[in-house]
Amino acid sequence: MGAKYPPIQGGGSLILAWQIKGRRVLIVGGGEVAAGRIVNVLNADAKVIVVAPFDGLNDEVAYRVAQGQVEHVNRKFEPSDLDNIDMVLTAVDDPEASSQIYRLCKERRIAANIADVPPECDFYFGSVHRDGPLQIMVSTNGNGPRLANIVRRQIAKNLPDNIGAAITKVGQLRRKLRKIAPEEEEGPKRMKWMSKVCDSWSLEDLVDMEEKDMEALLGYYHPNAVPSLDNLRLGEEPGIYQFDGSFGWM
């Protein structure tokens, strides 16, 4: 009976898209690893505080400081730096100091990542492919960061060049759909109809979709139909072309 359920593999991580917009992220260190961490959290719209002596900043971190992209504290770490902090990332060549910071974070229940010390990480940074709103992360659970990069590049090589633009258009269509069918009880129908659109239109169709096409396509929502892009532009009446989600047009 249990064969129909997915097996439990164990030993993995719960991979999440962590929303840290506006959160205060402390980065201890100013070298190459810190520079990479800064990019990661700035891309997630976090507020970044870097604690490190100025003479220890590499060129990229110094640039972020000069541009006002991050707040800089020009000294070594002190426990008070953890006040009002939501996340901590350490990138210093001092294992003892890093472990002390991790212990302080545990006492304050602050999520922390200690660079290159997997047992002292509440989360890992995977290798990420980014194309507009699309983010794909490959994680080896701390076992092989270099291998994660190789796998990520292989995945990215097999993705269509325009997939990010297609996703952007789908997001625009979803927001428009919510305006014409905002009721909570419409939620399941909205999800199923958007699934039909994504299943029946190619990525090229989604990229090619214009504002006027979205407005016309939304006219097919209430009759629960999805025309092809060509038929949509020919002005076919809503309800003529029905997509069953698996076998094409009916």
pLDDT score of 236: 61
pLDDT score of 118: 83
Is residue 192 within 8 Å of residue 221, measured between CB atoms? no
SS (H, E, C) the chain: CHHHCCCCCCCCCCCCCCCCCCCEEEEECCCHHHHHHHHHHHHCCCEEEEECCHHHCCHHHHHHHHCCCCEEECCCCCHHHHCCCCEEEECCCCHHHHHHHHHHHHHHCCEEEECCCHHHECCCCCEEEEECCEEEEECCCCCCHHHHHHHHHHHHHCCCCCHHHHHHHHHHHHHHHHHHCCCHHHHHHHHHHHHHHHHHCCHHHHHHCCHHHHHHHHCCCCCCCCCCHHHHHHCCCCCCCCECCCCCEC
pLDDT mean for each 10 residues of the chain (250 residues): 80 89 97 95 97 96 97 97 98 92 97 90 89 91 87 92 91 96 95 96 91 95 94 72 41
pLDDT score of 247: 36
Q: Tell me the pairing of strands 24-28 and 111-114.
A: unpaired
Separation CA 190–CA 153 (nearest Å): 34
**Domains delineated in the chain:** 24-125 (3.40.50.720), 126-159 (3.30.160), 163-234 (no CATH)
Encode pLDDT of 200-236 as tens digits: 999 889 989 999 999 999 999 999 999 999 999 988 6
Separation CA 226–CA 209 (nearest Å): 14
pLDDT score of 91: 94
Is 116 noted as a catalytic residue in this protein?
yes
Q: Which of 86, 94, 116, 122 is catalytic?
A: 116
Residue 245: closest CA among 197, 196, 201:
196
Separation CA 135–CA 43 (nearest Å): 11
Q: What is the pTM of this model?
A: 0.77
* Length of the chain (residues): 250
